[in-house]
Amino acid sequence: MHTLRRLAPLLLLAAVQPAYAQRVRVTGTVVDSASGAPLEGVQVRLIDMDISTLTDSDGSFQFFGVASGTHTFAARRLGYEPVAIRFELNAANTRQADLGVVRIASRAIELDPLVVEAELVRDFPQMEGFFRRMRSEQGTFLTEADIQRKAPHETSDIVRRVPGFRTNEWGRLTSARGSGGFRADCPVQVYVNGVKVNAPTVDVVVPATIIGMELYTGASTVPTIFRSGSNASCGVVAIWTRHTRRD
């Protein structure tokens, strides 16, 4: 939202003098609205004059040769809400004007999914297969962002929300098979970072450490990587965690 800011009264005096006779230096400082810390590298611009610069390490900026008139000042930086301020300047009686402290508020940035994928694969090579299967296999895939949005208390809280799976009160998994529905004696196979585990429940994995999950409800959907030496007829849950990060 634009706001109209009037600079010190002395800038508005002597309007009868020719405005074109003098141009002034306009200064100011950009800070974080929450912490008050100065912000370096903020792009600041006088839109009507089409001049721009970046703030220094102390958040300060300056424009030279600004003429009298109504101007629109804009500040923009990645991760912050853009700000625009309108101000009036009479350059007849001064050589410098100060916009004062300009506060901008931070905002969350939703990154491009391809950027997120590339960064995960760089740090966690095993995730390359995860994303490849996500594009080609039949199953349910959950990324770290998906899991965080669900805000689970236990890992079994995530699984039981996926159609075709259920967990008992201890977190033990079973899956649907054929027309008979759920069978209590049909346990789901669990893999953690590509290794089959014999833990009685998926809750041995802390949700906050998970960066990806693959869930397959039956043998026909389970990829080859999770079939070797394992009875996958009841389905598979594959969990990928941060514990295998490449240093």
Picking from 18-27, 178-187, 195-204, which range would have the lowest pLDDT averaged per residue?
178-187
User: Domain 113-244: what homologous superfamily?
Assistant: TonB-dependent receptor, plug domain (2.170.130.10)
As a whole-number percent, the residues of the chain with pLDDT over 90 amount to: 23
Evaluate whether 72 touches 86 at the Cβ level (below 8 Å): yes
Average pLDDT value for the chain: 78
Evaluate whether 143 touches 149 at the Cβ level (below 8 Å): no
**CATH 2.40.110.10 holds for 3-104:** no
What residue ranges of the chain are covered by domains with CATH 2.60.40.10?
3-104
Tens of pLDDT, residues 151-196: 888 888 888 787 777 766 655 666 655 334 445 556 788 899 988 8
pLDDT band for position 126 (50/70/90)? confident
Hey, is 204 helix, strand or coil? helix
What residue type is 223 in one-letter code?
P
Neighbours of 140 (CB within 10 A): 19
Task: State the pLDDT at residue 95.
Answer: 85
Q: Which residue has the higher pLDDT, 141 or 186?
A: 141
Task: State the pLDDT at residue 86.
Answer: 92
Give the strand order in the sheet containing 173-176: 165-167, 173-176, 182-187
**Which helix or strand (DSSP H or E) is residue 130 part of?**
helix 127-136
What is the rounded average pLDDT of the residues 214-224? 84
